[in-house]
Copies of this chain bind each other. A is one copy, B any other.
């Protein structure tokens, strides 16, 4: 049986000749690939980057561009925060969830200031000013933002400091970030070929990866990589078969990708006996305006609060999808999630920062709102009474929202259905759907130097990985900027390791 784009490795003995030869081959030209290519070229290796698209960018170029950095960066210091690597590591260990890779987090936190300077030296601009309220993307060019560090329970686990570093841009900074990184890789001497889809690794008799098979315009190309292959092919949110096998909770939601995250790198590694980690884990971008949520309530289909509404909005999203059944993964349970605000809270968020969101229903009493939303009779009434009581007393006993956002709500009340979606400034498309935009966090098992490890946890000779093709820092939690963060940080490591491999 012939399989198109088979990931079954090809024996080097079956490859009569190579169409192209290089020292280091990087597969996938997003932020991780560009970082790997830069460092490999910088270390003196001949470097070729292949990407299936028509140019560099991938999902990285579509992102907000936030990079999670700390431990005392110049931007943090300019904004008055004395951060430490230890506080950063403590936050990430808690926030990246059960299964987070503590060794990688410590390495990443210890090297974060150096990594900041590396990015700046590559031309990535960070304005040293802070945006100081919950949001997905600030409407300003502020270079620093909070990503949940100042919300419960993290306030009790680590000294808070904002660590979301944003390239200076009008809104989404991912495009600018990718332009800088690709230009850097090119300046260092890396070359690139596009419209090349890599599906198969070429393996020597001793198990070492020595090249790849690619297809370009329907033609097969064999590429020899003398020192190693770096897989930076991204996650697998675009591969529904892989989602069904590993993360079926993520099926049916809006996919955060450039449409090319089909998990090819992960599968190529697996076919060779590489270990994988946390393939079920996913980030959940929730379709709500964080500024509105913080000023109101977020309730599930039983009209109950379930999280402090002022926390990192991706944490609200993960709670909603995995715990409140927003995704419909649990038979029977209601999938609704509503943001409840009053007029004061709604008006308090400047109109441009509402991203076009309008109330789905408005009512004078919570009882009326129950009827309009289909929430169980009495449910929202009880929730609101409890919340107002706690807000009046000044302490959110139940979910620990900061007193800064705690205020009794008064009529009229509005309910906003998260399924109605939001339209970020940089996107022309509409996100209307389930209320969630997702991507995958799991991937190949790698060590601190970017080697891909086999099932015996030994490095597979000649094979490296970074970015969302690898598991990176992540357990089952997520924080914005940790994907571009660990992709660029460990992408650099992987590129250096590959260049030194011979």
Q: Which residues of B contact A248 (CB under 8 A)?
A: 98-99, 278, 475-476
9-residue interface stretch from A134-142, A151-159, A169-177, A481-489: A151-159
Contact B458–A3 (Cβ < 8 Å): yes
Complex CA–CA separation, A437 to B253 (angstroms): 32
Q: Which of B246, B273, B323 contacts A8 (CB 8 A)?
A: B273
CB distance from A322 to the nearest CB of B (A): 7
Contact B376–A456 (Cβ < 8 Å): no
Residue count of chain A within 8 Å CB distance of chain B: 63
Complex CA–CA separation, A280 to B243 (angstroms): 13
Q: Which residues of B contact A386 (CB under 8 A)?
A: 378, 382
Contact A97–B330 (Cβ < 8 Å): yes
Any chain B CB within 8 A of the CB of A244? yes
Any chain B CB within 8 A of the CB of A363? no
Complex CA–CA separation, A9 to B1 (angstroms): 23
Cβ < 8 Å to B, chain A residues 392-444:
397-398, 400
Among A97, A99, A329, residue most surrounded by chain B Cβ atoms (within 10 Å) = A99
With A332-B156, A382-B386, A456-B3 already in contact, the answer to whether A245 and B275 are too (CB < 8 A) is yes
CB distance from A406 to the nearest CB of B (A): 15
Complex CA–CA separation, A475 to B3 (angstroms): 27
Contact A329–B398 (Cβ < 8 Å): no
Q: Which residues of B contact A246 (CB under 8 A)?
A: 277-280
Contact A245–B382 (Cβ < 8 Å): no
9-residue interface stretch from A42-50, A80-88, A229-237, A264-272: A264-272
Any chain B CB within 8 A of the CB of A388? no
Enumerate 11 A-B pairs (CB-CB under 8 Å) in ascending A order: A3-B458, A6-B456, A94-B331, A98-B251, A245-B445, A248-B278, A270-B270, A271-B455, A271-B456, A280-B280, A319-B330
Any chain B CB within 8 A of the CB of A465? no
Identify 6 new A-B residue pairs, CB closer than 8 A, beyond the known A245-B275, A323-B330, A329-B476: A94-B332, A97-B331, A245-B277, A245-B278, A270-B455, A322-B323
Q: Which residues of B contact A276 (CB under 8 A)?
A: 245, 276
Q: Which residues of B contact A319 (CB under 8 A)?
A: 330
Any chain B CB within 8 A of the CB of A302? yes
- Chain B, residue nearest A245 (CB): B277
Contact B249–A98 (Cβ < 8 Å): yes
- Chain B, residue nearest A305 (CB): B302
Any chain B CB within 8 A of the CB of A447? no
Any chain B CB within 8 A of the CB of A304? yes
Q: Which of B251, B275, B304 contacts A270 (CB 8 A)?
A: B275
Q: Which residues of B contact A267 (CB under 8 A)?
A: 455
Against B, the Cβ 8 Å flags (1 = close, 0 = not) of A143-184 are 000000000111011000000000000000000000000000
CB distance from A402 to the nearest CB of B (A): 14
Complex CA–CA separation, A249 to B99 (angstroms): 8
- Chain B, residue nearest A11 (CB): B205
Identify the 10 closest CB pairs spanning chains A and B, nearest first: A153-B332, A99-B248, A280-B280, A98-B329, A94-B331, A271-B455, A3-B456, A271-B273, A98-B248, A323-B323
Complex CA–CA separation, A379 to B244 (angstroms): 39
Cβ < 8 Å to B, chain A residues 293-340:
302, 304, 319, 322-324, 327, 329-333
Contact B99–A456 (Cβ < 8 Å): no
With A154-B331, A245-B277, A275-B270 already in contact, the answer to whether A398 and B3 are too (CB < 8 A) is no
